[in-house]
């Protein structure tokens, strides 16, 4: 009889653990689809793109998989989705050909590192200039908006200008950006950004904080 009771209790414990694990996995495995929303051919931009990322909070509701999605309950402090906008930057000098602004003037592109934590260990945060300050741009929602630049074909940096709820405690070392959802870029968008892959997996990503210009540079691995 005692053995039967122990067996029943074991089953109950296992079921409870499985339920808890499933809830964690379902939270982590939410997939966020980032579309390539571009201007029509008639409005095709002339100069190099500056790409702004906007984080939206709330709960993601879609009519069908990745179709007609919107963020509901926006008062919630939970990650809902990313949206990207291509900003047209006028040439810095009106010459022929025009001198086009290159974001890699502000952030250290072209590294051979493929692990975000290698960047954290080997690159001085002071090497990250402020794109916002250089171009004298206004950021309406500094906790939600960032500029994104491909450091190479496998690493993406998102430059924020204030802390947000996706980041850890400022005093923690290293400070990290907590991503609980899988991010998938539309293939044409990934190519436009300069990435070889399309997927950012859930995980903890390092933040390189430049105290001189108050930039929070989050380094993501793109698969």
User: Quick check: is 97 in a domain?
Assistant: yes
Q: Give the C-alpha separation, 23 to 195, whole Å.
A: 32
Instruction: Please provide residue 209's backbone torsions phi and psi, each rounded to the nearest 5 degrees.
Output: -95, 120
Q: What are 191-194's contacts with CB under 8 Å, separation 24+? A: 192/36, 192/38, 192/49, 192/51, 192/86, 193/51, 193/148, 193/150, 193/156, 194/150, 194/153
User: Quick check: is 9 in a domain?
Assistant: no
Mean pLDDT of 158-164: 92
**How far from each other are the two terminal CA atoms of the chain, in whole angstroms?**
54
Q: Is 203 left (phi over 0), alpha (psi -120 to 50) or beta?
A: left
The count of structural domains within the chain is 1
- Output the pTM of the full model: 0.75
Residue 39 structure tokens: 């201007």
Q: Give the C-alpha separation, 7 to 18, whole Å.
A: 17
User: Quick check: is 211 in a domain?
Assistant: yes
User: Quick check: is 67 in a domain?
Assistant: yes
Query: Which tens digits make up the pLDDT trace of 7-66?
Result: 433 333 334 443 333 333 334 446 676 765 554 333 333 334 688 888 877 776 776 655
User: Quick check: is 76 in a domain?
Assistant: yes
User: Quick check: is 127 in a domain?
Assistant: yes
- Structural domain of 84: 31-221
Q: Give the C-alpha separation, 148 to 158, whole Å.
A: 4
User: Quick check: is 93 in a domain?
Assistant: yes
Query: Which tens digits make up the pLDDT trace of 86-125?
Result: 877 655 555 555 566 788 888 999 888 999 999 999 999 9
Q: Give the C-alpha separation, 55 to 200, whole Å.
A: 15
User: Quick check: is 25 in a domain?
Assistant: no
């Amino acid at each position: 009889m005692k053995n039967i009771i122990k067996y029943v209790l074991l089953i109950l414990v296992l079921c409870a653990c499985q339920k808890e694990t499933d809830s964690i996995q379902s939270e982590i495995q939410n997939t966020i689809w980032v579309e390539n929303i571009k201007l029509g051919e008639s409005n095709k931009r002339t100069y190099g793109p500056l790409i702004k990322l906007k984080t939206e909070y709330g709960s993601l509701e879609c009519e069908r998989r990745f179709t007609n999605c919107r963020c509901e309950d926006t008062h919630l402090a939970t990650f809902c989705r990313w949206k990207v906008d291509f900003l047209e930057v006028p040439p810095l000098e009106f010459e022929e050909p025009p001198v086009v602004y290159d974001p890699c003037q502000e952030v250290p592109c072209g590294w051979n590192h493929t692990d975000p934590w290698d960047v954290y260990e080997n690159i001085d945060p002071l090497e990250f200039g402020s794109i916002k300050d250089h171009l004298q741009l206004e950021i309406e929602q500094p906790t939600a908006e960032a500029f994104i630049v491909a450091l190479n074909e496998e690493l993406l940096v998102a430059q924020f200008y204030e802390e947000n709820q996706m980041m850890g405690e400022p005093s923690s070392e290293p400070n990290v950006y907590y991503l609980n959802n899988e991010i998938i870029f539309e293939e044409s968008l990934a190519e436009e950004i300069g990435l070889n892959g399309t997927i950012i997996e859930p995980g903890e990503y390092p933040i390189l904080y430049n105290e001189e210009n108050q930039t929070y540079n989050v380094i993501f691995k793109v698969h």
